[in-house]
Structure 1
């Protein structure tokens, strides 16, 4: 069997080392790797570049190259709880910058929830973390009539959906959502620990209960380098001839 090219040999050795390192930990510099492996700078650089392109490493300007966290993938087409989804994967989650307040719905939220502009909504804004890394800024808007006392009591845990079910008997079963890519604002960049102008996914969703009553609107901004969507598609001539249905949202609003 032919031997692997030198850059591939270096790549495999680095990959084994990365598996034992923490997210954000810096790998040795190119000169250090050159000396360690006894290969040329070009060979080291090529090995590192393949690991960057494959998503194992990321380069940080002025700092070097560090171990990159894996992207969190969410399925499009089903309603689910962010907290439960990550819990099933064995990934710890937490929240920071938690703000819970009451405000008037306004034109857009009123339209989405089917209420009046002057009606009160409960607004919950949080930065969601996975393994201590900030992944998304999440803002939930809830019709206050469906969640009386929530502002005064506050959230009792990290999962909003668990609380909605346990305290108010609300089961969110369907939704509609729109996903678009854009650049992070300065405030978003600071909260998500990314560069201003970096790519983010902006997800807007309306979630309905088991009686098809709109209960929640979620606006989420997620890091483009750490968050991705997965959709299972079907096709066929007969299907393509049908009008496209509205996309059912994948609910990650708790």
Structure 2
């Protein structure tokens, strides 16, 4: 005996199919509820139930006062390989751009020199970028690098998108290992302005220590919009 599909399941299935087929593209707004009621010939309660399901599965983001946005759940970075965020996005076919990029030498906060095993007051290079995928802001990243092997780095502001690729081609530096500390935070006012999300929006917060052989070479802080990115961890029982 076949079980009859409920109205909200039918609406859910059709919108999900339209997203997967590309009829609704990442960053687009779903038609407003009154229009969806007419399209599907169902009640507003049914529409809201279907949207709630799609939101819980990561297909939609409901923004109060702005509408319901199509989000991308296909961007995955595997944690068993050392890659940069731009590298992962480019591999997925995204056009990656940056804004607000600048490089300068600074005396960093003490936690940075601690992470890099440097003395208090030692200088590092600081690189700040806002990264975009297909024109939409996805992350704020701040890199702190030991300056030992990076002569003239400050002359390369806005000349690269992928830091790891740049270090390899320009300085013949290839990071060998890294340790990521990943947690969740809420977007503050500045984050919300840069990433175009509401204050309090969940963000993935990744603190990475990158190593050049056995030497701590990079300390980076990345804030990523949580519903536009996904980490994939492969575990093996020894």
Shift of 1:138: 0.4
Superposition RMSD in Å? 2.1
Check conservation: 2:184, 2:205, Cα contact below 8 A.
yes
The secondary structure found in structure 2 opposite 1:51 is helix
* Counterparts in 2 of 1:165 and 1:36: CA distance versus 1, 3 Å: closer
Which residue does the alignment assign to 1:226? 228
1:207 partnered with 2:214: no
CA distance in 1, matches of 2:27, 2:179: 35
The secondary structure found in structure 1 opposite 2:191 is helix
CA distance in 2, matches of 1:102, 1:188: 23
* Counterparts in 2 of 1:119 and 1:62: CA distance versus 1, 3 Å: same
Which residue does the alignment assign to 1:49? 52
Structure with max Cα Rg: 1
TM score, norm. by length of structure 1: 0.83
Structure 1 segments of 4+ aligned residues over 4 angstroms from their partners: none
Shift of 1:199: 1.5
CA distance in 1, matches of 2:42, 2:117: 66
CA distance in 2, matches of 1:68, 1:37: 22
TM score, norm. by length of structure 2: 0.88
* Counterparts in 2 of 1:47 and 1:144: CA distance versus 1, 3 Å: same
The secondary structure found in structure 1 opposite 2:65 is coil
CA distance in 2, matches of 1:112, 1:33: 52
Check conservation: 1:105, 1:116, Cα contact below 8 A.
no
**Which structure 1 residue ranges, 5 or more long, are not aligned?**
240-254
Deviations 1:66-122 (A, max 9, x none): 322326322223211322222221111111111211112453222222223333211
Check conservation: 2:101, 2:158, Cα contact below 8 A.
no
**Which structure 2 residue ranges, 5 or more long, are not aligned?**
none
Q: Aligned to 2:154, which of 148, 151, 154? A: 151
Shift of 1:178: 1.2
